[in-house]
Amino acid sequence: MKTGNALRSLLPVLVILALIAAVPLFSPSNRFLSLAISAGTNVIALYGLSVLFGQTGILSMGHAALVGVGAYAAAILARDFGVGFWTALPVAALASAVFAMIVGIPSLRVGGHHFVIMTFAFGQLLAIVLTNGGDYTGAATGLDIAGPVTLFGADMSDLTRYYLMVVAFVTAAAVASWAIIHSSYGRTLRAIRENEKLAASLGINVGRHKIGAFVVSGVFAGISGVLLAYFLGHISPSQFSSFPSIYLALMVMIGGARLIEGPLAGGILVAFLPEVLNLDPVQSRIVYGVCLIAVIMLLPDGLIGGIVRALRVAFSGKPKQEAERDAAPSEARQ
Amino acid sequence: MDIFIQQFLNGLSIASVITLIAIGVTLIFGLTGIINFAHGEFLMIGGIVTWLAVSAGLGFPIAVVLAILAVGLMGYILERGLFRFTLERPTNGFIVSLGLIVVLQHVVVLFWNPNQKSIPRPLTTVWEVGGVRIASVRVMVILITIAVVALSFRMITASRYGRALRASVEDRDTAALMGIPVRRYITGVFVLGSALAGLGGALLIALFPITPFTGGTMVMKGFAVALIGGLGNIYGAVAAGLILGIVEGFSAGYGFSQWTDAYSFVLMILVLIVRPHGLFGGTSGPRMAS
């Protein structure tokens, strides 16, 4: 009964993703597909960020660095060891997870608001190290990553096929993040978010679980990095410095971090808004910034959370914090 | 030895600008709890205002005053309009400031393109003392910073406003009961910090060309220095700013310039791990807002 209830919260996302997977039937333009693929790689990282920020309540401002570790791991593996996409995927995910642990242990020790500053600093540091890494990291120009992505002998490099593959990965990420939210582990993380001291008094090892959540988000980021590297064919340090990190945080805030639809909505909105409104990059960034501020001030649960709440109010006149309970329907069971 | 003194002087002028940002950060973050990462953009706007004023034919001193006033006013509007509502939840304030970074940078790009902007040096005299070339503009920057820092320090430690402010940080409710308008002090500190960033920007553009993206690295240095020195501790910020500026000056002078930006991050990470309250001790994190 409870599982059915939880499954129902996953259903809308699966329906939306199925619709998205059907888009190639309408022969979309290459530009649309490219935008959608880069949005998709972002969404995968955002699902990791939603576990960290939405469930555990800690924000990483260096998340693009974790994506970068995955991307560079894939590129270096391909160059030095001739390792292909599918082998690089778990290795890069592991590399990002390890990097997340290395960053997380000292950063979470300092705690509080300093954590975001620490992650920001580590992210910047990584970009500087990559820039100064000489030939090994390709310095400021970065690395090329050649080599086709094959699946069961089929070449996936074709834009439409790559698009479908990314959609599959996004689906996997959404399901994984949903599974974490509805597991007892997710409940532990929410307990830490709501009241750290209380959680600790219940015997929850707060420090270890926070680092754990950061490592989990690192796995998502690493996978996103590999997909991004193979899609772009070229990576450089500036793609993973502070500003991409800000945009990732922005996307997760705009979509709302606590709902399963949030990361998907945030990633898609931020990628396609400038197309729809026909804005140039400068104007669209101003719009993003204003949106971010507006969302934080007016809709703390993100856009989707706000819409859900507005609908609830409109239909049943209950201005309760339903949206939040939606993300955590199992809490009532305790 | 000549190179040594030369780099020491260059480092000192960089340290001055960093110190001005860091004092703004240390006061705002340390005393009001607002984590304003857009502080670097405040600095950049100060530089842009100076550039506009000088380009319009005004003298440098007037341009500096305009920069201070403009950025101070911007700080007032943003604190009243945005940050005031985030006092209870500093992380929200932090995210708002990230949005502000994006908005402010690109508004500047939109109106005045993303290219480098520079002004003719306000002072062109260069003194030669025993083989060391001393640019008077650098000396000016250092002297202005010393004067401003001394003034701020005196205001915080000796005036009755400073005492009321420190009381508010110590215990907000009791301070409010004693008749201290705590909220107004928060606004005041924010405006003061912003004005210092405006001054920093005006001095920075006197030394180097700036771009709309200059703020990004500068704000990290400001936060690094504020955290290393201990939040809310002006003396600590000055000491840490000097250390960082001089280390950067030397490393640039001896051929490690590509690593200069890394020092502040490494130093900050180390200090936060080993001494979370900074090298010189500060408020134990922002308390006023929580």
Residues A77-123: tens digit of each pLDDT: 888 887 777 888 899 899 999 998 988 887 777 766 677 778 888 88
Q: How far is CA B169 from CA A219, B8, B165, B182, in A?
A: 41, 36, 6, 9
Q: Which of B85, B216, B276 sits opposite A110 (nearest CB)?
A: B276
The answer on pLDDT for A225 being more than 50 is: yes
Q: How far is CA B10 from CA B4, B139, B245, B254, B266, in A?
A: 10, 10, 9, 13, 22
Confidence class for position B255, pLDDT limits 50, 70, 90 = low
Q: Which of A128, A131, A250, A251 to mutate to test the interface with B (most CBs of B within 10 A)?
A: A128
Q: How far is CA B17 from CA B60, B143, B245, in A?
A: 17, 11, 9
The dihedral over CA atoms of A105, A107, A110, A111, expressed in degrees to the nearest 10, equals -100
Q: Which residue of A has its CA nearest to B263?
A: A125
A255 contacts on B by Cβ (under 8 Å): none
| Residue reference for tokens 């340290």 | B15
| Residue reference for tokens 């005196």 | B154
Residue B269 to residue A125, Cβ atoms within 8 A:
yes
Confidence class for position B108, pLDDT limits 50, 70, 90 = very high
Residue A59 to residue B268, Cβ atoms within 8 A:
no
User: Is A128 in the B-facing interface, judged by CB distances under 8 Å?
Assistant: yes
The DSSP bridge partners found for residue B133 are B128
Residue range B53-78: mean pLDDT, rounded: 93
Residue range A209-232: mean pLDDT, rounded: 89
Half-sphere CA count of B246, side-chain side, radius 13 A: 12
More confident residue, A111 or B83: B83
Residue B85 to residue A297, Cβ atoms within 8 A:
yes
Q: Which of A59, A102, A105, A114 to mutate to test the interface with B (most CBs of B within 10 A)?
A: A114
B271 contacts on A by Cβ (under 8 Å): none
| Interchain CB contacts (distance < 8 Å): A and B | 114
The answer on pLDDT for B287 being more than 60 is: no
Give the C-alpha separation, B155 to B151, whole Å: 6
Average pLDDT, chain A: 80
- pLDDT value at position B289? 37
3-state SS class at A181: helix
- pLDDT value at position A329? 37
Contact by Cβ (8 Å): A44, A223? yes
Nearest residue to A58 via CA among A257, A204, A292, A234 = A257
Q: Which residues of B touch A (CB under 8 A)?
A: 35, 37, 82, 85-86, 90-92, 94-96, 98-103, 105-107, 109-110, 216, 220, 223-224, 227, 258-259, 261-262, 265-266, 268-269, 272-273, 276, 285-286
Question: How many structural domains is chain B composed of?
Answer: 1
B272 contacts on A by Cβ (under 8 Å): 106, 110, 114, 117-118
Confidence class for position B147, pLDDT limits 50, 70, 90 = very high
Residue B9 lies in a domain: yes
ipTM score of complex: 0.80
- pLDDT value at position B286? 45
3-state SS class at A79: helix
Q: pTM for the whole thing?
A: 0.80
3-state SS class at A235: strand
- pLDDT value at position B236? 86
Residue range A194-219: mean pLDDT, rounded: 85
- pLDDT value at position B54? 92
E strand or H helix at B233, and its extent?
none
Q: Which of A82-96, A213-227, B118-132, B219-233 is the least confident region?
A: B118-132
The answer on pLDDT for B266 being more than 70 is: yes
Taking domain A2-333, whether its CATH number is 3.90.380 is answered by no
Residue B290 lies in a domain: no
- pLDDT value at position B283? 59
> At A256, phi and psi to the nearest 5?
100, 125
Give the C-alpha separation, B191 to B211, whole Å: 24
Give the C-alpha separation, B129 to B236, whole Å: 32
Contact by Cβ (8 Å): B286, B31? yes
Q: What are the pLDDT digits (tens) for A283-325? A: 888 888 888 888 888 876 777 777 777 887 877 765 544 444 4
Residue B80 lies in a domain: yes
Supply the angle between the helices B2-27 and B136-157 in degrees, to the nearest 10. Answer: 40
- pLDDT value at position A151? 67
- pLDDT value at position A112? 65
Give the C-alpha separation, A206 to A211, whole Å: 9
The dihedral over CA atoms of A79, A84, A86, A88, expressed in degrees to the nearest 10, equals -20
Q: How many CB atoms lie within 10 A of CB B191?
A: 21
Residue B103 to residue A297, Cβ atoms within 8 A:
no
Enclosing domain of residue B102:
2-274
Give the C-alpha separation, B288 to B290, whole Å: 6
Q: How many CB atoms lie within 10 A of CB B157?
A: 12
The answer on pLDDT for A59 being more than 70 is: yes
Contact by Cβ (8 Å): A224, A235? no
Give the C-alpha separation, A283 to B2, whole Å: 49
CATH number at residue B249: 1.10.3470
- pLDDT value at position B17? 86
- pLDDT value at position A111? 64
The dihedral over CA atoms of B89, B94, B97, B102, expressed in degrees to the nearest 10, equals -130
Alpha carbon of A212: minimum distance to chain B alpha carbons (Å): 19
Residue B272 to residue A106, Cβ atoms within 8 A:
yes
The answer on pLDDT for A326 being more than 50 is: no
